Amino acid sequence: MKNENHLKKRIAAGEMIVAPGVYDCVTARLVEQAGYDAAYMTGAGTAATLGFPDYGLVVMTEMADNAARICTSVSIPVIADADTGFGNELNVTRTVREYARAGVSAIHIEDQEFPKKCGHLDDKRVIPLDEFLPKIRAAAAVGASEDVLIIARTDARATLGLDEAVRRANAALDAGADVAFVEAPVSMEEVAAIPRLVRGPCLLNIVWKGKTPDVAFEDARTMGYRMAILPGLLLAGVMEACEAVLEETARRGRHAALSPNLSVNEIFRRMGAEEWDHLRGAFRPAP
C-alpha cells in the first residue's frame, strides 16, 4: 500500500526532512522505530545487498522490487534512489510508474551517463542538459498523477563546476521537478551557496568521508535545505558492527557476547511479531 505523501506539505512549511539510508526491511523498520520521519532507499545499499558496488549494475526492476519490500514494511514516507531513470524519457516514465506502484513518496533521477557510479567517486560523466530535461519532464508528468515527488539530481559539480550544476538544478525545477539535488559540493561555502542560488527546495546528501563536508542538520535547515539524506549511515554501521562481532567470535572461539536486550523474542518483536501473534488465533474459535 502506498504511504500517504506528506512530504510536499512539510517542505512547503519550511521543515527539513532527515532520512537515514536503508537497504532492506530490517534497516527500514529500525529507522521508523527510532522516530525518523522518512527513510531513504539507498542505491548503493541496494546494490550491496546484491553483492555489487554502486556502479550502475542494478537494474530498474531490482531497485523497484526492493523499494516495494521496504515500503510494505514501514508507514513512514520512503524516498528512493532511481539512478539515471534507467534510460531515456520512455524508460523514466516506466521507472516512475514502477516506483509509484512500489509505494515510494519521492524519487531522485540524475544526469550521469549510464552506467552511473556513486556520486562521491571520481571520474563521473554527465549527459547534456538537453538530454536530461526530457527525462525530468517525463518524470514530473507521472509524478503529478501518482503523487510522487520528483527530485532532480545533478552530478555536474564534479566535471563542469558549481555554476553549471546550479544552472542545471534550476532548469530541472523549471521542467517540473519538485526538489533539486546538487550532488557533492566540496566545501562549506558551496554547501551554503546552493540553497541561495537554486530557485526551489534543495536536498543535501550527507556522506561520511565523502566529498561533501559533514553538516549538522540544524545548520543545513538554516541554510535553506529541506531534505537531508544519509545513504551510508546504516550500511557502514552494519558492516562495522558485523566485522567486530565476527572478529570477537573468532577470538573467543564461541558465540560473541551480544546485547542482552536483543533476545530472540525481542528481535522478532521489532519485526512485527505482535501483529502476527494476534492473527495466529484471531480466526479460530475460542477453546
pLDDT tens for 76-123 read 999 999 999 999 999 999 999 999 999 999 999 999 998 898 889 888
pLDDT of residue 42 exceeding 50, the answer is yes
pLDDT of residue 16 exceeding 90, the answer is yes
Cα gap 71→14, rounded to integer Å = 25
Cα gap 1→6, rounded to integer Å = 15
C-alpha cell recorded at residue 145: 498523477
Contact 225, 190 (CB under 8 A): no
pLDDT of residue 24 exceeding 70, the answer is yes
* Lowest-confidence region among 17-31, 130-144, 172-186, 258-272: 258-272
Q: How confident is the model at residue 12, as a pLDDT? A: 86
pLDDT of residue 4 exceeding 60, the answer is no
Buried b (16+ CB within 10 A) or exposed e, 177-199: bbbbbbbbbeeeebbbbbbebbe
Q: Where are the beta strands (DSSP E) in the chain?
A: 17-22, 39-41, 78-81, 106-110, 149-154, 179-182, 202-205, 225-230
Closest CA to 149 of 128, 117, 172: 172
C-alpha cell recorded at residue 254: 564461541
Report the percent of the chain where pLDDT is more than 70.
98
pLDDT of residue 165 exceeding 70, the answer is yes
Closest CA to 149 of 24, 40, 285: 40
Count other C-beta atoms under 10 Å from residue 222's C-beta.
12
pLDDT of residue 2 exceeding 50, the answer is no
Residue 56 is classified by DSSP as S
C-alpha cell recorded at residue 88: 531515456
Contact 112, 124 (CB under 8 A): yes
* CB-based contacts of 247, cutoff 8 Å, min separation 6: none
Q: Report the chain's mean pLDDT, rounded to a whole number.
A: 94
pLDDT of residue 1 exceeding 60, the answer is no
pLDDT 10s digits, 180-238? 999 999 999 999 999 999 999 999 999 998 899 999 999 999 999 999 999 999 999 99
Contact 164, 171 (CB under 8 A): no
Over residues 60-72, mean pLDDT: 98
pLDDT band, very low/low/confident/very high, at 162 (cuts 50, 70, 90) = very high
